[in-house]
Amino acid sequence: MVRIPILRQGCAYESVEQATLVHHATREPFALVDQANSGMVRRDILLMDDNVLDSFSIADLIEIARKAGQLFVSASLPLGETQQSFDNYIGQLSATTGMPVAYCRNNAKKISGVLDEIESVLTGLTRGLDMRVLDRGYRAASGLNLNFYRAGRIFGAVLPSNSPGVHSLWAPAIVLKTPIAVKPGREEPWTPYRIIEAFAAAGIPREAMGFYPTDHAGAGELLRSVDRAMLFGGGATVKPYENNPNVELHGPGYSKIILGEDVVDDWEQYIDLMASSIDANGGRSCINASAIWAPRHTREIAAAVAQKLATHRALPADDPEATLAAFTNPAVAEQINAAIEHGLSGGGAVDLCREHRGSDRLARLGACSYLLPAVVRCDSREHLLANREFLFPYASVVECPENEMPDAIGPSLVATVLTRNEALIRTLMNHANVDRLNVGAIPTWKISWDQPHEGNLFELLYRQRAFQIEPAA
Amino acid sequence: MSSNSEKIENAKIALDRHTREIVQWHFDPATGTPFWLDHAKNWGWDPRTEVQCYDDLDKFEFFEDEWLRGGDVRRWVPKAFANDPIYTFETGGSTGVPKSRININDFRTDYELFSQTLSDASFPRGGDWLMLGPSGPRRLRLAVEHLCQHRGGICFCVDMDPRWVVKLIKSSRLQEMHEYKEHVVNQGLTLLRAHKGISCLFTTPKLLEALCERVSLVECGIKGVFCGGTQLTAQFHRFAREELLEGKIDFVPTYGNTLMGLACHKPFDPADNYSVIYHPPSPRAMIEVVDPDSPRNVVEYGQVGRARLTTLTKEFFMPRFLERDEGVRTRPCDAYPWDGIADVRPFSGFASPIVEGVY
């Protein structure tokens, strides 16, 4: 069985306690993950050298990141006492997360792509700052001296298991000269471990990177001990940190598609866009749409999207046609399904996808449980199911007058607004409810490297300082 | 019969004899405990004749700790001790009425017996102690001080209110919780720096971590650490020995509570792979690992079950109490020829998680 150690300042450490990961299909033990006690996490972080990357130039780090991105998708890299090929990684990732192999490969490419495009990412994060300023400490630009200092001496990340693509969000911290300490999601230690090993193989000092599989208490210690952090999790997980400016929260997305008055009569043109926003990547990401808002035609829109999504089937993860992730814990699928059924039982909402499919949402294939897509048309935007997000392709379809939408949609990580109405666009632009605004037929999941959303890692890690220097004589 | 089997059998005989004596005491109208005498009126059976061995305690219903919340605390005082000075020690109480257990000398006796398990090299006779743990109405504060005095030392103490910590955690006021922890630790550090004679420490896992973040206890002259109060995992045990205490300070984990007393850790053996194994202070108290769905039945060795406690002292009789912990049943060992419990953690069968690990 594969054993994944803790990486304490980059060095493997085997704990006396391990968590056992099972293969989602066989339910057989598949990997042992060494568990860090919370005190160890804090002790190590306090002992980390926060200047260990300062001797690298940003240009060097960009090159290292590119190399790491290539190694990530091609090299044989250490995994505990063994070596892990890229194909091993994909197989292992799929085994413990239930994610289709094809999606695992796509997500790996996304991570590699971010590392390859890291310069564009940094440009987006810094709005075009000449990154050499971080090497020199200051520079004269447009007649002004710019000086930044790194407030995030050690950066921490408490990571999820739902989608490997999210790991592209924290990896740029290393290029921004910041040592990292990460806690992987329980079922998905594979990706952060491999990213760290790829960076090490590309030239980052191992002591700049810590990997701490741990429990809830350990995650809390990690967040407390680092200077700046990123936290992924559900509403209850992120709530205690809502007012902590040092922790960037990645909670539920509640991403949405919004149709304006001017285009809603042409809704049929957008069915593919809406379906794709809901089901891409197995519908497990916070950037998947979980609601469609329109001023009318919601019954027809829901029916058409449902018809399209009803074609998804439960297939083994290694089937090239697989599009849905299996639930590694069948009880979770049952709980989600029960929550939806509870919402439907009160009336005022109907799952049109189930009607089209003619079969239950909860499907079983061998030992695996799946949730087949749900498109729930709600009579009211106050309905229990109108603003929900689940770990499978799920969307509500809600009717709402256009002028009420900006206030009514609530916090939305991504909003794709389909309209040419400048007033609506401007209102949404000015509204705090939307974190990333796509204007036009752009799927909610489509990311532009130079457009950071859900927080800005550079702004989290760096602070600008007022700075003057006496001109040279 | 091998020597080990003989010790186990002798321990069982002693436990049976002790059980008979304690039941006689608590149900004798002259010496007994008003609570039990009153309770027994409706049973239709007399424990004094029907309890002849430890297993006969199965004839009692499970002890309910709710009986200890409120009401006349004197109903728990055996008539024989009615004129003695009485302590009441509390447990729980973050919200609502705490559970109260009366005490006269039990805490002293328990800790004097525990003292016999401590090495004089690690916990030097005459060495002073720092008690950095829960204070107030808890028995631990007085018990550790008595342990220290029993070994010839003087005990330095700080205040610590775990109920406040629980409230802070429950309301997600983590920053305040850490500030309070710092406040407690700072007082401990001040004492450590001011009193060079302190060579022994009682503290909890969280406070030990916080202390060692600030100082080297080796450099402070600490020789032995007695640790308890909350769950200790095997990995924490290793971490404490190897890193916090730098492999140079003795580490003695214990498991106990106000209701039962103090269970000692099996002497450290590398073969146990840092598993924390506790043995109760038989015959004064027993811990058994039982099937949560059928708590009259003890699980097999190596199996996980719920901790079931029984206290058998002249001051307090508590048969078959289902504790809020679970663990693995372990075999008797040389030092403790009766069952133990390993890897104790909060019972997983409760619907909502217990707030623990607060110290």
10-residue mean pLDDT series, chain A (473 residues): 96 96 94 97 97 96 98 97 97 96 94 94 88 82 79 95 88 96 96 98 98 96 96 86 90 93 96 96 91 96 96 94 92 94 95 92 92 96 94 96 94 95 94 92 86 80 87 75
For residue B358, what pLDDT is reported? 40
Domain annotation covers residue B55: yes
Q: Where are the alpha helices (DSSP H) in A321-421?
A: 330-345, 352-357, 405-408
For residue A468, give the nearest of A130, A150, A135, A138 by alpha carbon. A138
Is B213's CB within 8 Å of A35's CB? no
d(CA A464, CA A130): 14
What are residue B317's DSSP bridge partners?
A: B312
- Name chain B contacts of A220, Cβ cutoff 8 Å: 174
Is the Cβ pair A224, B233 closer than 8 Å? no
Distance CA A59, CA A132 (A): 8
A residues 14..43 contacting B (CB < 8 A): 15-17, 35-40, 42-43
pLDDT beyond 80 at B229? no
Closest alpha carbon to A276 in A300, A253, A255, A251? A255
Cβ atoms of A219 and A229 closer than 8 Å: no
pLDDT tens digit sequence for B129-180: 999 999 999 999 999 999 999 999 999 999 999 999 999 988 888 889 999 9
CA distances from A399 to A140, A290, A419, B19, B115 (A): 53, 14, 16, 73, 73
**Chain B CB within 8 Å of residue A239 CB:** yes
Write the CA distances from B7 to A292, A387, B1, integer angstroms: 74, 66, 10
A320 token code pair: 């090239």
Distances (CA, A) of B327 to B52, B268, B302, B304, B341: 29, 18, 9, 5, 6
**Is A224 within 8 Å of B178 when comparing Cβ atoms?**
yes
Question: What average pLDDT does the segment B271-291 reach?
Answer: 94
Place of tokens 């919601």: A298
Q: Enter the tokens of residue B105.
A: 């000398």
The answer to whether the Cβ–Cβ distance between B235 and A239 falls below 8 Å is: no
Q: How many domains does chain B have?
A: 1
Structure tokens at A5: 């150690």
- The pTM of this model reads 0.90
How far is the C-alpha of A327 from the C-alpha of A317, rounded, in Å? 11
- Whether the predicted pLDDT of B352 surpasses 60: no
Task: Test A37 with B213 for CB contact under 8 angstroms.
Answer: no
CB–CB of B274 and A40 under 8 A?
Answer: no
Residue B137 preceded by cis peptide, ω within 30:
no
Domain boundaries, chain A: 2-251+454-465, 255-439
Q: Exposure string (b/e) for B188-205, b if CB count within 10 Å is 16 or more?
A: bbebbeeeeebbbbbbbb
Question: Is residue B122 situated within a structural domain?
Answer: yes
**A235 has a chain B CB within 8 A of its CB:** no
Task: Give the HSE-up count for residue B246: Cα atoms under 13 Å, Cβ half-sphere.
Answer: 12
Q: How confident is the model at residue B2 (pLDDT cuts 50, 70, 90)?
A: low
In contact, B215 and B189? CB cutoff 8 Å: yes
Query: For residue B175, what are the contacts with CB-CB under 8 A and spacing of at least 6?
Result: none
B231 and B346 Cβ atoms separated by less than 8 Å: yes
- Whether the CB of A216 is below 8 Å from some CB of chain B: the reply is no
- Predicted confidence (pLDDT) at residue B353 exceeds the cutoff of 80: no
pLDDT over 80 (residue B350): no
The contacts of residue A109 (CB under 8 Å, 6+ apart) are A73
- Strands B340-346 and B317-330 come out as antiparallel
Q: Kindly give, in sequence order, each residue whose CB lies less than 8 Å from that of residue A39, ignoring residues fewer than 6 positions away.
A: A221, B205, B209, B236, B239, B244
Residue owning tokens 């229990």: A384
What are the chain B neighbours of A239 within 8 Å (beta carbons)?
A: 172
Distance CA A455, CA A404 (A): 26
What is the DSSP track for A122-133? HHHHHTS--TTH
Residue B356 — very low, low, confident or very high, per pLDDT cuts 50/70/90? Answer: very low
CB A390 within 8 A of CB A254: no
Nearest to A214 by CA among A34, A45, A22, A47: A34
Q: Taking CB atoms and an 8 Å cutoff, what residues of chain A touch B244?
A: 39, 43
Task: Quote the strand ranges of A233-306, DSSP E.
Answer: 247-250, 255-259, 289-294
The pLDDT tens digits of the residues spanning B111-126 come to: 999 999 999 999 999 9
The crossing angle, in degrees rounded to 10, of helices A118-126 and A58-72 is 130
Quick one: pLDDT at residue A453? Answer: 63
Predicted pLDDT of residue A466? 85
Assess whether pLDDT exceeds 60 at residue B1.
no
pLDDT of residue A79: 97
Integer Cα distance of B276 and B260 in angstroms: 18
Instruction: pLDDT band for B51, please (50, 70, 90 cuts).
Output: very high
- The CATH number of the domain holding residue B272 is 3.40.50.12780
CA distance B182 to B123: 26
Tell me the CATH number for domain A255-439: 3.40.309.10
Structure tokens at A164: 């490997």
User: What percent of chain B is predicted at pLDDT more than 90?
Assistant: 83
Enclosing domain of residue B295: 3-346
Please give the pLDDT value at position A395: 97
Per-residue model confidence (pLDDT) at position A163: 84
Q: Do B209 and A36 touch (CB under 8 A)?
A: no
Say how many CB pairs under 8 Å bridge A and B: 40
Interface test mutation site (partner B, options A35, A37, A43, max chain B beta carbons within 10 A): A37
Window 159-218 of B, Cβ < 8 Å to A: 172, 174, 178, 205, 209, 212-213
Q: Which fold has domain A2-251+454-465?
A: Aldehyde Dehydrogenase; Chain A, domain 1 (3.40.605)
Round to whole Å and give the CA distance between A259 and A237: 32
Q: Check CB contact of B78 with chain A, cutoff 8 Å.
A: no
Question: What residues are paired with B298 via a beta bridge?
Answer: B290
Which structure tokens are listed for A377? 């048309």
Confidence of residue B357 (pLDDT cuts 50, 70, 90): very low
Tell me if A394 sits within 8 A of A255, measured CB to CB: no
Residue B184's pLDDT is 97
Taking a C-beta distance cutoff of 8 angstroms, is the pair A194, A73 a contact?
no
